[in-house]
Structure 1
């Protein structure tokens, strides 16, 4: 007699508990009462959770993910160790080729990047059955839909299983998603964690951002600054806010091509995973544009970091500093002006000049279309 194997034990560690219970019941045939007994829950609670995920199979991403997870034992998929050294299966290998291995660190890292984009007004995630990747789109000031991010299909499936995104509209084969309330809460937690890690790094090296900052004759702690930055990051980027402003003659202060250049730099910055690393490397690089920081990375992340370094080298100190702070670190213009010692309300003019130079860099380096996002 073969020993009983529980499919839940070989599932990725990041899966929500209700998903594990659903798969245990539907994939292994474990009764509701047995699942409830094992986990110390009421059978009615388990039943409601399982019914909820059964109903959610109308969502294409949820259905794909659950189907793939149900096949992990019978497909013979190759496993890879997670952060704890346990073997986890490739989530979407039974369904389509080219999918990536998922772990909690990758989901959190991509969660910060993608959920920030989805939290912007008018942003949606779009995907179709024939698309290997999902794209994040946002309505620009001139009414066009602008692509702001790209992510692997398997990551979009993970976001759906975690309830971070929900179906907004399904038109034919194209399905669009928006950030959910759970997704906004997760984004706030991820940003707060990132801010705490950055403040710990600054405090360890005695950097200015780690202590109190003088503002308008008073003082605020770096924790308060981090809280304000987190709230800002949950809504719109400084460039998106500035893009809605108009000159006296009615023209936009930032033209769509300048906004697109800023978005491309920000996406490369986030793809390179720079925000969670030593931020001071870019301060040193800006003070010496001839020095290219060592990437230590390969593939898309390394290429993205090289593109950011090339852009900052072309802009040089001053212009490179303002785009790094405002476009990449999402600092407000007033904060950037204070930190760089500029006159009040001068930051937006310098930023526009910097974006014009950045746009020219992309055209000269990659052609008029510039580098593709993602």
Structure 2
């Protein structure tokens, strides 16, 4: 696809007779999915004007994403599912409408239009938290978690703001706080079990899973200790953003990011999470023999 082809697609996209978003061809669907990869873009094949080449890149590594017909790219352009890249107008990248469409298609039944605005992921509960859990997993918006926000962002050196071990530690603490019911409820819990018209009135009425989760939370906070424990409650329990934490504590700008990384690093040490799996330098020799 040369520049004139892209320009014709853009002019068609801007005209009053632009086709409404609807069904697209199978080739266009595959192209849309390929452009959803991190750093993916499509450009015209210099040797074949009727084909598009998709490339994706991460951390300086370029990977091939396949070849697609130009007609697929023109169809996605006409429906606003892709757009020319700002830095290079000859490159096509995934647009907001295309990302929303992919989220709707990947969403569970009944959550399609909710998923196009939220980053829905299945909630992972600790083992034994709910033995009688329904078959369908609970969904949550991953974009609400400031820990997930830090894991997705990169610093000036190109490295993630949060290591995978620290991210998993923060998510584990968040799940335990949720199971332990240590966060304030903003509305009425219509699904709670009732006995004689009322709910649990004392800790003895809580389930074993809730009690165990509270013990894990207390153990983790005691291991971190001090103000770092209070920070983890705000970060993983209350889901307060870094800017809000800085404002409430009157900290300098961008300081909460540094303190949060230290707190989550200590939490990962408490859970026994490491950046990489380690083992002995030399394994014990074993001899396998047939049994007599």
TM-score range, shorter chain: 0.3 to 0.5
**Rg comparison, structure with higher value:** 2
TM-score by structure 1 length? Answer: 0.34
